[in-house]
A and B are shown apart, each in its own frame.
Chain A
């Protein structure tokens, strides 16, 4: 069974630009969560999607948004990029939300110059 895939793996953008990251969950998994990892703040929850609906959202500004498609694939978008948005963005999937093991993808490394 293929794992969680994230594209692209690496990305370089400049301040003010916008970026879209993609996540394909494990086949059959319907819940997708996004996390941001930075050296200063660690791993922080961004948002969670299930059945194309956002279930939970972390404490991030409105510049961070996401969506989920009917095939459970998910995208997240960051608009008006800031230097502080440089981070590893991780996607995780599980069968359904709740007390289930979440499987993480390898992440997308975003660098904002």
Chain B
């Protein structure tokens, strides 16, 4: 039972355009969401997070949107750069008792073409 799903295994975008990565979840207890980027042979790197009390969080070129009623979040990267090419994971956490226990989606491979 996948509680966090990233339905697009891959996405190809032209440099300078917007990249939109999507993530759906089923567990209503999730109240904190994170995006990580992963290069081959490296551990995931934290990108941006959002609490369920917000519907948007921005950090430079990265913006995360949360739609709680649809149980959907998305990561927007504007403008996309070739260095953004990596696998992106969304992750969710359920309350303070969950501590650092994250449930990850399956990942989306983003390719940004020059």
- A residues touching B (Cβ–Cβ < 8 Å)? 4, 31, 33, 35, 42-45, 48, 50, 55-56, 58, 90, 92, 94, 97-107
Contact = CB atoms under 8 A, between A and B. Distances in A.
A38 B104 CA distance: 12
Contacts of B29: none
Given A43-B89, A99-B51, A99-B93, A31 B43 contact: no
A43 to B, nearest CB: 4
Given A48-B100, A101-B49, 11 more contacts: A35-B102, A35-B104, A43-B89, A45-B101, A48-B99, A55-B99, A97-B99, A99-B32, A101-B46, A103-B46, A104-B36
Interface of B: 32, 34, 36, 41-46, 49, 51, 89, 91, 93, 96, 98-107
Contact of B43 (A4, A45, A55): A4
Given A42-B105, A42-B106, A42-B107, A98 B100 contact: yes
B96 A98 contact: yes
B104 A56 contact: no
Nearest to A94: B100
Contacts of B32: 99
Nearest to A55: B99
A44 B41 CA distance: 17
B41 A106 contact: yes
Most A Cβ at <10 Å: residue of B96, B101, B105: B101
Nearest to A91: B43
A43 B104 contact: yes
A35 B107 CA distance: 15
A100 B32 CA distance: 10
A68 to B, nearest CB: 13
B48 to A, nearest CB: 10
A9 B40 CA distance: 14
B14 to A, nearest CB: 28
